[in-house]
Amino acid sequence: METRMYRHGDCLLKRVKEIPITAKKVDGQTIALGEATGHHHTFKQETVQLYKEQDTTFIDVVEPSSLEHQEHNTLQVSPGKYVLVLEREMNHFENAIQRVQD
């Protein structure tokens, strides 16, 4: 059975059928960058293509690829199309939902 999703720290890759045709290609293989540590979640293979539509990132993995990070274990991601979901949390002090910042 194909893997539907992968979690890599505060990043979750969720399989989608298609990447919206309105999404635009973006350079690089880094899907998320840590502000406090300078660490990043990055695909090793350059064949991985990222797309952006507004604030949403889509990922086209065309061959088995390694998702790497300076501290997390490396994940082997199967070919497929994915949407990147970033972890969120509730800020009780501002009564607001916010993306987890790291």
Residue 63 engages another protein in binding (rule: CB under 8 A): no
Is residue 88 within 8 A of residue 94, CB to CB? The reply is no
Among the listed residues 22, 27, 36, 46, the single contact to another protein using CB under 8 A: 36
Residues 6 or more apart whose CB falls under 8 angstroms from that of 22 comprise 53
Residue 33's nearest CA partner among 93, 91, 99 is: 99
Residue 22 engages another protein in binding (rule: CB under 8 A): no
Give the whole-angstrom CA distance, residue 101 versus residue 88: 9
- Contact stretch for another protein (CB under 8 A) within 22-30, 48-56, 57-65, 66-74: 66-74
Give the whole-angstrom CA distance, residue 19 versus residue 72: 27
Among the listed residues 27, 38, 46, 54, the single contact to another protein using CB under 8 A: 38
Residue 56 engages another protein in binding (rule: CB under 8 A): no
Among the listed residues 60, 80, 81, 102, the single contact to another protein using CB under 8 A: 102
Give the whole-angstrom CA distance, residue 43 versus residue 41: 7
Nearest residue (CB) to another protein, 21 versus 55:
55
Size of the site for another protein (CB under 8 A): 36
